[in-house]
Amino acid sequence: MFDALILNQEEKRTVATIEQLDESHLPEGEVLVAVDYSSLNYKDGLAITGKGKIIRHFPMVPGIDLAGQVLRSDDSRYQEGDSVVLTGWGVGENHWGGMAQKASLKADWLVPLPHGFSAKQAMMVGTAGLTAMLCVQALIDADIQPKDGTILVTGASGGVGSVAVTLLSQLGYKVAAVTGRIEQNGPLLEQLGANQLIDRSAFEEPARPLEKQVWAGAIDTVGSKVLAKVLSQMDYNSAVAACGLAGGFDLPTTVMPFILRNVRLQGVDSVSCPREKRMAAWETLAELLPAQYFEQACTEITLNEAPQYAEKITTGQNTGRVVIKL
Ligand code: NDP
């Protein structure tokens, strides 16, 4: 028997309970994994609270990330005892996910635990960290270099934002962090590598089509009017990697930054990111993230606490990454 967080729907409300299951309850899969850690992402928060239509069929075990050890495998790439990581691929959305002590999964979804990471550290990174790495890579691919100027990161105290600040700083970029919580999180963001802190309110006023050029690059986790403001302040020939919607999924902008300043807007998705790119990103994360990131920017919780933290993450109250010990 093993513990799992199960989501059900009762009178159109999502209800989360901890249940004891046996392996016969698990969906079909090629690899059975003993989950050591999962993590709590914004999307998990939307799923557990029912605030977002993340889950289409119930009952469902949430958890878009997991790390653990292979118990049984029908795929020659994985043997019993191998340490593995999974992020994305719709796990925790339409296939039972990481918030259970066991998970039954497709082999293609797994990657080996990156060298130098423990299962817990891999979950401190998780989907949010992988996404941050893909955003940084998008700026590098756009040839935005440290000498070009400052990189802006929005939603900086969150999971994606805090890893993005850390990675950019490690790579030698100057970083400006936009946050709604300067008093609470300013010192942490500075320790992670932010050179400048900007109050979110400055990015919530309506944007003019073009404003003063300030940023060589940007990573946006917020969307909506904040992204519109960011776009209006981008340098000529700069690039923005957009991955999130913490402030809304609309984008009230104009074509002006694109057609007059050659600004490039690159969308970033981590869920269906191809395996090779994913593995390369994990290896770079293992090389770049300093010990200080893991000591400062992460909270460990139990499965019982997941619903409470899900509420917090959907109301912008979490800082850094939250990992769940199974
Ligand atoms: P978090 O909740 O940890 O971080 C989001 C941060 O955004 C908050 O900490 C807060 O930072 C800021 N924020 C929250 N609410 C608002 C608001 N109403 N207006 C402006 N800023 C706000 O979430 P994650 O870091 O896990 O995810 C960030 C976003 O990226 C989410 O939208 C998520 O869905 C998306 N995402 C996308 C992925 C992809 O593959 N494309 C993968 C992973 C995440 P502060 O207090 O510092 O302002």
Sorted by where each starts, the structural domains of the chain and their CATH numbers stand as 2-113+295-325 (3.90.180.10), 127-267 (3.40.50.720)
How far is ligand 1, taken at its centre, from the CA of residue 158, in Å?
6
**What single-letter amino acid sits at 244?**
G
**CA gap 49, 253 in Å, rounded:** 31
User: Looking at ligand 1, which residue's alpha carbon is closest to its atom 27?
Assistant: 42
User: Looking at ligand 1, which residue's alpha carbon is closest to its atom 31?
Assistant: 244
How far is ligand 1, taken at its centre, from the CA of residue 299, in Å?
17
**What single-letter amino acid sits at 106?**
K
Answer yes or no: is the C-beta of 128 below 6 A from any ligand 1 atom: yes
How far is ligand 1, taken at its centre, from the CA of residue 103, in Å?
27
| Predicted confidence (pLDDT) per residue in 22-39, tens digit | 999 999 999 999 999 999
Answer yes or no: is the C-beta of 42 below 6 A from any ligand 1 atom: yes
Question: Best substitution site from 38, 179, 221, 227 to test ligand 1's pocket, by max atoms within 8 Å of Cβ?
Answer: 221
Please, are residues 216 and 152 in contact by the beta-carbon 8 Å criterion? no
Provide the CA 173 distance to its chain's centre, in angstroms.
21
**Tell me, what's the pLDDT at 295?**
85
Whole-model pTM over 0.90: yes
How far is ligand 1, taken at its centre, from the CA of residue 315, in Å?
10
Strand partners, 233: none
**Tell me, what's the pLDDT at 281?**
96
Query: How many residues does the structure list for the chain?
Result: 326
**CA gap 247, 225 in Å, rounded:** 8
| Predicted confidence (pLDDT) per residue in 103-142, tens digit | 999 999 999 999 889 999 999 999 999 999 999 999 999 9
**CA gap 272, 93 in Å, rounded:** 13
Rounded to the nearest 5 degrees, what angle is found at the Cα of 38, between the Cα atoms of 37 and 42?
A: 155
Please, are residues 68 and 39 in contact by the beta-carbon 8 Å criterion? no
Which atom of ligand 1 has the smallest separation from the CA of 317? 9
The pLDDT profile of the chain, 326 residues, written as one tens digit per residue, is: 999 999 999 998 999 999 999 999 999 999 999 999 999 999 999 999 999 999 989 999 999 999 999 999 999 999 999 999 999 999 999 999 999 999 999 999 999 999 889 999 999 999 999 999 999 999 999 999 999 999 999 999 999 999 999 999 999 999 999 999 999 999 999 999 999 999 999 999 999 999 999 999 999 999 999 999 999 999 999 999 999 999 999 999 999 999 999 999 999 999 999 999 999 999 999 999 998 888 888 999 999 999 999 999 999 998 889 999 99
Answer yes or no: is the C-beta of 25 below 6 A from any ligand 1 atom: no
Residue 140 dihedral angles phi and psi, to the nearest 5°: -65, -45
Q: SS3 sequence, 281-306?
A: HHHHHHHHCCHHHHHHCEEEEEHHHH
Strand partners, 298: 321
Going by C-beta distance under 8 Å and a sequence separation of 6 or more, which residues neighbour residue 276? Answer: none
Answer yes or no: is the C-beta of 273 below 6 A from any ligand 1 atom: no
**Tell me, what's the pLDDT at 320?**
87
